[in-house]
A and B are shown apart, each in its own frame.
Chain A
Amino acid sequence: MPMVDIQNVRKQYAGGFEALKGVNLQIEEGEILALLGPNGAGKTTLISAICGITMPTSGTITVGGFDVVKNFRQARDLIGLVPQEINLEPFTKVIDAVRFTRGLFGKPKDDALIESILKRLSLWDKRDNRTMELSGGMKRRVLIAKALSHEPRVLFLDEPTAGVDVELRRDMWDVVEGLRQDGVTIILTTHYIEEAEAMADRIGVIRQGEILLVEKKDSLIARMGEKELIMELADPLAALPGALSDFDLVLSEDGTCLTYRYDTSAERTGIATLIATLSAQGIAIADMSSRQKSLEDIFVGLVDEHGEDAA
């Protein structure tokens, strides 16, 4: 049974705008899923629907097997949420804000736990400060501390590192790694692809309320194993000679540039044969470079491709 099971979820806001168009997504226990997507894709809406902040128009969502509407108590017991917006009661002390959340989730007082969470997030020195006296990055840490205070089994991090310095990002990654070892299921949204690469087991891409792809990070990286060899020719070619037709080659329109695609993980890349064939054909190469495809290329490619469909 998946830890989070989203079936056919649609969300139409009061104005009539459809922010989610039938989302299906299953997340296994202990997994870390990164949700990528441009602004307005529906990431926050999806998280809000799971956590009870917004009501889905149709479809069902279960967390830990509990329906988030019908059995909201059992479902929400399991869920921790770090919202995208920094929302904090300004006059409350940091430690009181964190204790409040723990109580709200029906857990008895546990000062040792709160202390360890605050220390892990480098907030212990600030525990008696009012939240309004903190910097933006520290406020975000407080939100994370609040979400961890009731020991959730499923944690939603909605852009946890937006506008955050390198140090906190590292801290965050460490915290996430620690949670992963405790078996916590984590769903995070981010605009930083390197972050998804660093933390996630699976990567989902959402655009205009639709999930375009959900794939294991490893298989995406295998796709990234594809490389391109770009060769600038000394003399332009009018067309590809027949002898080269066996190679995966593309000739640029002006005939000055040849691009060869190959897989670095393959046993034979075919580069040596290609070079030999080129010189046998009397084609001289002026310059040569190679380029790796990144997750970003795949991501941008996907989003653009579907963008044209939508337009």
Chain B
Amino acid sequence: MNLYAIGAMYRSEMSRFFRTIMQSFISPVISTSLYFVVFGTAIGSRIDQVDGVSYGAFIVPGLIMLAVMGQATSNASFGVFFPKFTGTIYELLSAPVNFLEIVIGFVGAAATKALFIGAVILMTSFFFVDITIAHPLAMLAFLLLTCLSFALLGFIIGIWAKNFEQVQLVPMLVITPLVFLGGSFYSISMLPPVWQVTSRFNPVVYLVSGFRWSFFDQADVPVGLSLMAIAGFTGGCMVVIWWIFKTGWRIRS
């Protein structure tokens, strides 16, 4: 393992984050507060409780997931696309590093940033609602795995993308709808039967459900299934990345 290389890549990715630390901090605080005002107050006044949890508290795990998935994906995809765009990728290609080290450096940094945002949103939530976390360790594990797997997805997007539009396209067109339809702001059991079945094909449902279970001890799908879904997703992304480096697809002419 070339640990110095991993450290160098990780630090250089994180330095971009620290350059814009205020933005990184303020924007999730503001958007979370807005969600609480709009969803928690406006809708919460009509829904009161979901599965015995106040609506305001119920949406917290979904809010965190929404932000973390988006942040992990866009941080990683941008982080990888940028060196392709500026041409500095030549350095990564000619350095004595293998694909695993590059992935650890870039994905690790993107996941760290997303984790930070997730934590900020959780803190902000405490100002609006009362929440107790039933399984704190499981909560952390789900959060970490989500950061990791979506950062891996972002890494793939960054390599696939040929321009900045494409970097932004996938998160906007695929991830945001999946998350909104993935039970972030409602329980799947509240949907008509047809949509309950359709939702089973949305991978985000499993993540949100598992994450919510770690807060309230209640889930839309069994927790074991949630874990398997996220492990499968992470594994799938790793295989794709391994293949990318093996063939040099879109990075090595």
* A contact residues vs B (CB 8 Å cutoff): 13-14, 51-55, 72-77, 79, 81, 83, 85, 87-92, 96, 99-108, 146
Contact = CB atoms under 8 A, between A and B. Distances in A.
B252 interface: yes
Contacts of A72: 96
A12 to B, nearest CB: 11
B83 A89 contact: yes
B93 interface: yes
B19 interface: yes
Nearest to B83: A89
Given A54-B253, A108-B4, 11 more contacts: A53-B90, A53-B252, A73-B2, A73-B98, A81-B94, A88-B86, A96-B15, A104-B91, A104-B92, A105-B4, A105-B95
Give the interface residue-count category, chain B: 20 to 34
21 contacts: A51-B94, A52-B93, A53-B253, A73-B96, A76-B94, A77-B96, A81-B94, A87-B87, A88-B88, A89-B12, A89-B82, A89-B83, A89-B86, A90-B86, A92-B12, A100-B12, A103-B5, A103-B8, A104-B9, A104-B92, A104-B95
Given A55-B248, A92-B12, A83 B90 contact: yes
Contacts of B83: 89
Contact of B4 (A13, A55, A107): A107
B88 A87 contact: yes
Given A87-B86, A87-B87, A104 B15 contact: no
A106 B90 contact: no
A104 B86 contact: no
A91 B88 CA distance: 12
B7 to A, nearest CB: 6
B94 A106 contact: no
Interface in B197-253: 248, 252-253
A81 B90 contact: yes
Contact of A55 (B94, B95, B96, B252): B252
B46 interface: no
Contact of A91 (B2, B11, B16, B98): B16
A106 B87 contact: no
B87 to A, nearest CB: 3
A53 B98 CA distance: 13
B97 interface: yes
Nearest to B98: A73
A101 B91 contact: yes
Given A87-B90, A89-B88, A103 B4 contact: yes
A101 B91 CA distance: 8
B251 to A, nearest CB: 10
A53 B83 CA distance: 14
A96 B98 CA distance: 22
A76 B95 contact: yes
Interface in B177-212: none
A94 to B, nearest CB: 14
Interface in B1-59: 2-5, 7-9, 11-12, 15-16, 19
A76 B252 CA distance: 16
Contacts of B96: 72-77, 105-106
Contact of A105 (B5, B82, B87, B253): B5
A55 B249 CA distance: 11
Given A81-B94, A89-B83, A96-B12, A103 B253 contact: no
